[in-house]
Structure 1
Amino acid sequence: MPFDAATAHTLHTDHGPLHYYRAGTSGPAVVLLHGAMLDTAPLTWGRTLAALRDTCRLFAPDLPRHGGSRPWHGPTDQEGLEAVLATLLDHWELPRATVVGLSLGGAIAAGFAARHPERVDRLVLIAPGGMEGRRVAQGTTYLLLRAPLLLRLTTALFARAPRLLRATLAASLVDGARNPDFAEITALAEAEARATHAAGELILDDWQIHSYGWRRMRTDLRPLLPGITAPTLVVRGDKDTLVSLATVQEVAQRIPRAELVQVAEAGHLLPRDRPDEFHALLRGFLQKGHAHT
């Protein structure tokens, strides 16, 4: 599917460029935040921008050091990325918006909604990151993340070995290479792998590296969740191997008025695995908010 549903723009800041896509001219303002590693706004949200542009005003940024948002010289930890979201909302002249985040984007969205409740109308968290005290192989992962040579070799490998990247992407999608968007997703991920390597960046985000401590996760947003006041939808694909059902259940329990939905036959990249089901959920959730205004 060609990515022609949106217009591309760039905001130049003191820390570097923030590249983003816009679609739609009427309806509620919805900000879409993608995930980590080789993700970009077109990769996660290409279908969403096309599907919802007739009923929403959509804003989908490339997060710092992704897509067109490089080179970036500002902080990229949790607080730094929340500050980026605030900067973009101000640039878009949006006092309030619905914020939708996948994985890393979900962590940014949740933290921002807790610390700036006056700016978030509604919140959608898709398999959000930053919601655990410990992860499997915590100490081993911590050590691996502090092996810069290994991380650089891995980055170079993905940039120079498209077959490996395609195999990894196929394994991450429920329908594998049979996904109707597989060629598009692969092309976007390959381009991002090459751009990451060319920029001297690592395949893992700083947020991911900094989030791991030796015994416990340094980024654990769970204590903030009760402070979220926006109506919240928590979503997970039932085949997600990165974020467990127990994790999203706890997230939904800690956030007042949160609703939890699991989508059948979907993995971590839910908006691409099951786009029709996801868009129906999102439309229904937004309509609830419109009915109450």
Structure 2
Amino acid sequence: MPLTSATAHTITTAHGPLRYYRAGNTGPAVILLHGAMLDTAPLVWGAAIPALQDGYRVFALDWPRHGGSRPWHGPTGQAGLEEAVAELMDHCGLASARLVGLSLGGGIAAGFAARNPDRVERLVLVAPGGMEGRRVAQGSTYLYLRTPGLLRLTTALFAHSPALIRVSLRAALVEGADHPDFAEIVALAEQEMRSKREAGELVMDDWQISSYGWRRMRTDLRPLLRHIACPTLVVRGDRDSVVPLSAVEETARLIPGADLLRVPDAGHLLPRDRPEEFHAALRAFL
């Protein structure tokens, strides 16, 4: 659903613009952090923002080089994206907030919470990235990411093949093309791909690319998790094909006092796959 009830704002930073969407006037501050590749705040949180705005002050950030946060000339690894969260909070006068992050956004939220325990009141990690020492096809993925031209070729394929975007989104949603918001989600992803092409960006994020080493993941946040001091909920859809259940279970074990929630019949894009179940769990926890 379009974000008709949210207002778009832009922060001018030393590295470029940061776009965020704002909704709700009362209650605790909640910051929503989306995932990688073609994700944007409207695509991932388009249903969550209206569901939360009557009881929370909601801030949904477009990561650098996503949505309205371009052109961007600063770092976009773990430290750079954590800095973007701090920029948003400082700009909006938020001494602390409740963070909700999906995939890449979950990894950034976890790292930020571990390093800034006084600024995070509650934490929701939805199939968070950066929680594994080694991934399936580790070596071959590393070679793919570092072979000249292959990432550019992949980007060109997505840019010139809208059908490829539709196929990937159909696979990402449990209901596929029968999802009631499928046309809207596809349109937002296609728009994001056009923006990447016009900006000369790759379809994959720097965070994803830099995370892979030859034998081990270079981004492994697990040693930091014991420093997270706030109440934490870790969530995963039972049909998630991106982040394995073992990684999510370990994440919940390593965070002191964390709860684990498994949502039936939901994939990696859980906030869109099962919005009613997700929003109910979110509101109960936040």
TM-score range, shorter chain: over 0.9
Instruction: Tell whether the 8 Å contact from 1:132 to 1:247 is kept in structure 2 after alignment.
Output: yes
Aligned position for 1:92? 92
Residue type of the alignment partner of 2:173: L
Question: Deviations along 1:148-172, whole A, 9 cap, x unmatched?
Answer: 4111111111111111110111011
Aligned position for 1:205? 205
Aligned position for 1:215? 215
Identity among equivalent pairs (%): 70
Aligned position for 2:281? 281
Aligned position for 2:171? 171
Provide TM-score, normalisation by structure 2. Answer: 0.99
Question: Deviations along 1:133-192, whole A, 9 cap, x unmatched?
Answer: 000111110010012411111111111111111011101100000111101100000000
Aligned position for 2:185? 185
Separation of aligned partners in 2, 1:151 and 1:230: 38
Residue type of the alignment partner of 1:133: G
Question: Deviations along 1:208-243, whole A, 9 cap, x unmatched?
Answer: 000000000000000000000010000000000011
Unaligned runs of 5+ in 1: 287-293
Separation of aligned partners in 1, 2:246 and 2:217: 17
Question: Deviations along 1:8-57, whole A, 9 cap, x unmatched?
Answer: 00001110000010000001100000000000000000101111111110
1:263 aligns with 2:267: no
Instruction: Tell whether the 8 Å contact from 1:160 to 1:194 is kept in structure 2 after alignment.
Output: no
Aligned position for 2:75? 75
Separation of aligned partners in 1, 2:32 and 2:192: 19
Separation of aligned partners in 2, 1:193 and 1:79: 25
Residue type of the alignment partner of 2:11: L
Question: Deviations along 1:52-95, whole A, 9 cap, x unmatched?
Answer: 11111000010000000001001011011111111111001000
1:8 aligns with 2:8: yes
Runs of 4+ in structure 1 deviating by more than 3 angstroms, as ranges, are: none
Aligned position for 1:138? 138
Separation of aligned partners in 1, 2:151 and 2:38: 14
Residue type of the alignment partner of 2:130: G
Separation of aligned partners in 1, 2:5 and 2:256: 35
Any idea what SS the aligned residue of 2:130 has? coil
Following superposition, the deviation at residue 2 of structure 1 comes to 2.5
Instruction: Tell whether the 8 Å contact from 2:2 to 2:42 is kept in structure 1 after alignment.
Output: no
Question: How many residues align structurally?
Answer: 286
Any idea what SS the aligned residue of 1:38 has? coil
Query: More deviation in 156-165 or 267-276?
Result: 156-165
Question: Deviations along 1:254-275, whole A, 9 cap, x unmatched?
Answer: 0011000000000000000000
Question: Deviations along 1:246-292, whole A, 9 cap, x unmatched?
Answer: 11110000001100000000000000000000000000001xxxxxx
Instruction: Tell whether the 8 Å contact from 2:37 to 2:204 is kept in structure 1 after alignment.
Output: yes
Aligned position for 1:232? 232
Separation of aligned partners in 2, 1:74 and 1:82: 12
Residue type of the alignment partner of 2:266: A
> Aligned runs of 1:153-164 on 2, under 5 Å?
153-164=153-164
Unaligned runs of 5+ in 2: none
Separation of aligned partners in 1, 2:180 and 2:122: 30
> Aligned runs of 1:102-113 on 2, under 5 Å?
102-113=102-113
Any idea what SS the aligned residue of 2:81 has? helix
Any idea what SS the aligned residue of 1:31 has? strand
Instruction: Tell whether the 8 Å contact from 1:134 to 1:217 is kept in structure 2 after alignment.
Output: yes
Aligned position for 2:52? 52
Any idea what SS the aligned residue of 2:284 has? helix
